[in-house]
Amino acid sequence: MHYDLKCIYTFLFTSKSVNEGHPDKICDQVSDVILDACLEQDPESNVACETCTKTKMVIVFGEITTKAKVNYEKIVRDTCRGIGFTSADVGLDADNCKVLVNIEQQSPDIAQGVHAHLSKKPEEIGVGDQGHMFGYATDETPELMPLTHVLATKLTKIAVDLKEHVIKPVIPSKYLDDKTIFHLNPYGRFVIGGQHGDAGLTGRKIIIHTIPMGVGVLMVMVLSQERIQPRWIVAVHTLLGNAISVSEPLSVFVDTYKTNKIPDKDILALVKEVFDFMPGMISINLDLKRGGNFRHQRTSAYGHFGLDPDFTCEIVKPLKPKA
């Protein structure tokens, strides 16, 4: 974003990030691997998969309608083992923990209203729930994400949390000075972690790992489409409002925070012209029905955006004003 620096005072803006071993992120990864497994066999799967975890236990529940044959318990154990949870001493032993699965099919009432049991055309498909989806992008980093978010995410990827060998190599020197304060484990003692110290739940870290936000589980098919779409719009804050089973969004809003060179209303007109916000078309444009190869799991830790071009939401679509 471009501002008149003379009019801005110094203030602190913080971002948080957690790694793949956090109980909430374990749950995100389990749900996303289940989504991948369903989509790999059946691209028309409807997946609303919740996961929660506590000491020595993982529970998977929700509504899934799919033709895929999925071993949910095996996915839970394999995912937890891959993250590194192989001992009860750290809160979870992937091979010996309790795994409870309670999966039912999508409500026929919802199925009828959203996609008429898969009989609707893509442009006719409605959303699966009411929701407000916010999107944001900024040009202050190559990833088009806020600088603090990018730096926090990079720091969580490094195992040894030392100021000299971790923080300073990651954060550009221009953001550090003699007034910088480092809070390294301000608890003093932090030994009990993982499921011993905190329960985990799918979607609870949605705000810190993605700029778009809304209700429900991040990777629920219909909702994820609405959340990913606003990220495609560069240098503006966008808002989509939807009503259950209705294909057209009730509202589309744009705010450029006074960084605009043309009126916001003209940018909004361009946005509506370039982007199709109907859920069925979003699913096609963002290739959301493609699963397998742990594609969706890759978005479940260390940020959902700023990844690679395999995710079409990373391909910038320029808005060109008419002459």
Tens digits of residue pLDDT in 255-299:
877 777 888 888 888 888 888 888 888 888 888 888 887 888 777
For the entire predicted model, the pTM comes to: 0.68
Q: What is the pLDDT of residue 258?
A: 78
Instruction: Name the percent of the chain lying above pLDDT 70.
Output: 67
What separation, in Å, do the N-terminal and C-terminal C-alpha atoms of the chain show?
24
CA distance 137 to 135: 7
Model confidence pLDDT, tens digit, residues 40-57: 999 988 888 999 999 899
Mean pLDDT across 133-138? 70
| pLDDT of 9 strictly over 70 | no
Which domains does the chain carry?
23-108+124-139+199-314 (3.30.300.10)
CA distance 31 to 297: 8
Q: What is the pLDDT of residue 145?
A: 78
Angle formed at CA 228 by CA 222 and CA 11, multiple of 5 degrees: 135
